[in-house]
Amino acid sequence: MSNDALEGLTTPLTYRRYTDAVTRVKGRVVPQSYSVNNFEASIQPATADELEEMPQAERNKETLKLYTETELRPVDDDGKFAADIVEWRGKLWKVVSVKHYDETEIDLNHFKVMMTRT
């Protein structure tokens, strides 16, 4: 890791990055091929306030947040690419939102990722 802000607080994880545009079958996104990538993150439960900020359709799903130095990807605005999928403890989690905390006076450069169980 290039930044020590999360040092010692992270868990090794993998994520799937879909590399081809998605197709739709009966209105549902069907991802195509993907690559598997390793990264580290601090995993925490979502707070009630964070759940309120989630899209309406996602609020009642099991939700976790990650803090990581790896830029994960939610569904793009055009819906052409599927969201990254994180694997943790044998379960799959869809990246719903990503907020970048870039360089500040206290040298934090990381991403806050909200993800829901698939």
Q: Indicate whether 103 pLDDT > 70.
A: no
Strand runs labelled E in the chain: 11-18, 23-25, 28-30, 34-45, 63-68, 85-88, 91-101, 110-117
pTM of this structure: 0.81
Q: What residue ranges do the domains of the chain occupy?
A: 4-117
Compute and round to an integer the Cα radius of gyration of the chain. Answer: 15
pLDDT-derived band at 91, boundaries 50, 70, 90: very high
Is 20 in contact with 13 (CB distance < 8 Å)? no
Q: How far apart are CA 59 and CA 15, in angstroms?
A: 22
Per the structure block, which two tokens stand in for 70?
């790896």
Q: How far apart are CA 90 and CA 73, in angstroms?
A: 20
Mean pLDDT of the chain: 85
pLDDT tens digits, one per residue of 38-49: 999 999 999 999
Q: Which CATH class is domain 4-117?
A: mainly beta
The least confident of 8-17, 26-35, 74-83, 108-117 is 26-35
Per the structure block, which two tokens stand in for 75?
């569904």
Name which residue leads in pLDDT, 19 or 36: 36
Average pLDDT over residues 92-117: 86
Q: How far apart are CA 41 and CA 50, in angstroms?
A: 18
